[in-house]
Structure 1
């Protein structure tokens, strides 16, 4: 490759990434739902199509757990309409068993034609505030099949040759409790794809299709080379790990997810053989969702400057036996899979890789206590609040760094909604949103602190809660301690509160009722007894760890004023190392 070719590949690849960023900005600025315009729970991407299969070539940093799931959705949509694609078409899909994850994540895809052939496809994958079905918000812990999760939509055209299909559009809006949101959200996704189509057309006119294809192949080859170099730096071998989902909301307990990491040269195989069979509850993970969480975990072990495209995925083989929690058969319910068991899938991959390359893994888990509320505005329109502020917390440590930020890396592309905008968009008040001590996993590098969020709703609400990470909390790595347990309380008033053990279904709260989330912190990395005592003292000063916690978890002795007692600390740590306690 000449220097000119190399520079041109970077220009064209950067142009497509910029187009994906423009798509993201368009959705943010034009959507109606706070899930879009505040939390940014969506991803934009661009795919190349060679007439047989699509390839991911650009992606905006959106909701990272959509990383790979959008790939399969685009392939399925193209397959469905491969003999009936026209300029101006827009396809929509959400079927979990046809390239989807869970039903609330809709995908909008538009073909870009050149010389009368579809060559590139911009796409938006986004979480909708409601998707029909029995339960507002789309999370139904009573679901026993996918039709009880929500409205299943196989690939269908919502725009045909530039003309909106009113019948299809009305079908979607008519089956949605939040028609005042969903119509605008769909328009924003369609508009983003339209903008991308124009920008891509300009790019093709400027550089020609053969030059663009050559540049994209160069970028894909580069990403694969970088990922292979990372894997090749790990020792060859095998390591098996397991983790557990607390429950499936249908009576199942401690559901096993197993993974064996096999490194051979620059190839990585991740084998989920030994994982529990699919369950009755709605935590089963369709294969697209499983692959997305797998690649999220792998990406967390590699340099962050490697471009995310098709080449990233080439060195990794995934074995996910059909009929298990990680690859269920239709029509098993899957509504909560992007939280549970998605978090555990990423966790077990990191545990398995950590057995071979411990310095490359971090606690990438997001074991959310999923709690959401719904009610009505004064004019009678419904609102659904997914309580993104309550999801925050749980970020774990990695080699070289303590846990940081409010979102665990699996949710990095989601932004913490503005408290002020939340209080404008919903009849709610955020009473508390702050770190709390002694909920974090201890280690040489500790996890992010636990976090408490209290939301007071000013009107009557119904509240559903799906707990995770209570018994099986976020895991630590390389000898680090596990994170703290999650808790959720539903409070009628100061004197009356109900703690949710596993799930609550449409629990009524009166005006001024409160939803209280106590988020367990992230797991640690490395032996807590090796953490410098002065850093533990700083954690106590900052309120992340209590004085009692410093002694219990780190063997660090502080006096009543918070000063380090060095001799006592040294003796305590030596005693624990000698006795193993």
Structure 2
């Protein structure tokens, strides 16, 4: 599927969630909408532009942009935090939850927000809906230890309705492996709306067994040795309305 197709899918997702009725999922949902994807844009790039992760990262950015433009919900974590590791004997992949954005449930006649909701802490948002492997199963099948998976307190944006907090996940490796992360919202924070504060950016780093800390890029690959810990701090969601 091309990035342009992912754009159409994200538009369908957003507007279908805003319809307060039980409607079937089909192409008819798009009939009232005109979708313009300019040639040469990020969503319709020209060869030889690099194209990757349209279904896991680009789709999240489109979704946050649309909800924000419509003024109904602040940005969620905006990434799936795709984490993989493996060697010749083991291979594993997971997506990691973060904060969801705060939003409005009901507007007044003049467009003012009358009722809203806080974001949820450490939850799969929008296109990402996969469950994590239970720690006991993960540690039984792979030579790793799940040291912790916790709420990243204070990472949700402040607001009349606060954004959800992101999470912090620590995986200790027990044998040499290659680990990779494909993530977003490490430099630009998930936006708030209507005076709400942005959520905290995410962060990826490795704590070496010798005490050294290695900061990683949003998309990066690193060689892990026994005793090393891969740490993923997922973004918080944006807040809605002035605190």
Determine if the TM-score, normalized by the shorter chain, exceeds 0.5: yes
For residue 448 of structure 1, report the CA deviation from its aligned partner.
Answer: 1.1
**Is structure 2 residue 28 aligned with structure 1 residue 311?**
yes
**Is structure 2 residue 81 aligned with structure 1 residue 374?**
no
For residue 427 of structure 1, report the CA deviation from its aligned partner.
Answer: 2.2
Structure 2 residues without counterparts, runs of 5 or longer? 105-115
**In the alignment, which of 373, 393, 396 is matched to residue 98 of structure 2?**
393
| Distance (whole Å) between structure 1 residues aligned to residue 156 and residue 78 of structure 2 | 13
For residue 318 of structure 1, report the CA deviation from its aligned partner.
Answer: 0.5
| Distance (whole Å) between structure 2 residues aligned to residue 413 and residue 502 of structure 1 | 21
Determine if contact 1:432/1:452 at 8 Å carries over to the other structure: yes
For residue 452 of structure 1, report the CA deviation from its aligned partner.
Answer: 0.6
**Is structure 2 residue 155 aligned with structure 1 residue 443?**
no
Cα 1:439–1:496 shift into 2, 3 Å = same
* Structure 1 segment 4-83 matched on structure 2, within 5 A: none
Cα 1:308–1:421 shift into 2, 3 Å = farther
| Distance (whole Å) between structure 2 residues aligned to residue 335 and residue 293 of structure 1 | 16
Q: Which has the higher Rg, Structure 1 or Structure 2?
A: 1
For residue 444 of structure 1, report the CA deviation from its aligned partner.
Answer: 1.1
Q: TM-score, normalised by structure 2?
A: 0.85
Q: Residues 253-310 of structure 1: CA distance to partner in whole angstroms, max 9, x if unpaired?
A: xxxxxxxxxxxxxxxxxxxxxxxxxxxxxxxxx2111112222222333337433222
Say what the alpha-carbon RMSD is for the aligned residues.
Answer: 2.2
Q: Residues 41-85 of structure 1: CA distance to partner in whole angstroms, max 9, x if unpaired?
A: xxxxxxxxxxxxxxxxxxxxxxxxxxxxxxxxxxxxxxxxxxxxx
Q: Residues 484-535 of structure 1: CA distance to partner in whole angstroms, max 9, x if unpaired?
A: 0101111221512201144433x1111232110111211111111xxxxxxx
| Distance (whole Å) between structure 1 residues aligned to residue 132 and residue 94 of structure 2 | 10
Q: TM-score, normalised by structure 1?
A: 0.38
**In the alignment, which of 216, 221, 239 is matched to residue 524 of structure 1?**
239
| Distance (whole Å) between structure 1 residues aligned to residue 42 and residue 180 of structure 2 | 23
**Is structure 2 residue 68 aligned with structure 1 residue 351?**
yes
Cα 1:493–1:470 shift into 2, 3 Å = same
Determine if contact 1:482/1:523 at 8 Å carries over to the other structure: yes
Cα 1:494–1:437 shift into 2, 3 Å = farther
| Distance (whole Å) between structure 2 residues aligned to residue 289 and residue 453 of structure 1 | 29
Determine if contact 1:446/1:524 at 8 Å carries over to the other structure: yes
Counterpart of 2:109 in structure 1 is none
| Distance (whole Å) between structure 2 residues aligned to residue 376 and residue 420 of structure 1 | 22
Counterpart of 1:511 in structure 2 is 226
* Structure 1 segment 280-291 matched on structure 2, within 5 A: 286-291=3-8
For residue 365 of structure 1, report the CA deviation from its aligned partner.
Answer: 4.9
Determine if contact 1:478/1:526 at 8 Å carries over to the other structure: yes
478-487 vs 287-296, greater mean Cα deviation: 287-296
Structure 1 residues without counterparts, runs of 5 or longer? 1-99, 102-285, 355-359, 378-382, 529-581
Query: Residue 208 of structure 2: SS of its match in structure 1?
Result: strand
Query: Residue 55 of structure 2: SS of its match in structure 1?
Result: coil
Larger RCO: Structure 1 or Structure 2 (Cα < 8 Å, ≥ 6 residues apart)?
2
* Structure 1 segment 178-577 matched on structure 2, within 5 A: 286-303=3-20, 305-354=22-71, 360-377=72-89, 383-388=90-95, 391-399=96-104, 400-404=116-120, 406-411=122-127, 413-493=129-209, 495-505=211-221, 507-528=222-243
| Distance (whole Å) between structure 2 residues aligned to residue 304 and residue 361 of structure 1 | 19
Determine if contact 1:466/1:503 at 8 Å carries over to the other structure: yes
User: Which structure shows the higher helix fraction?
Assistant: 1
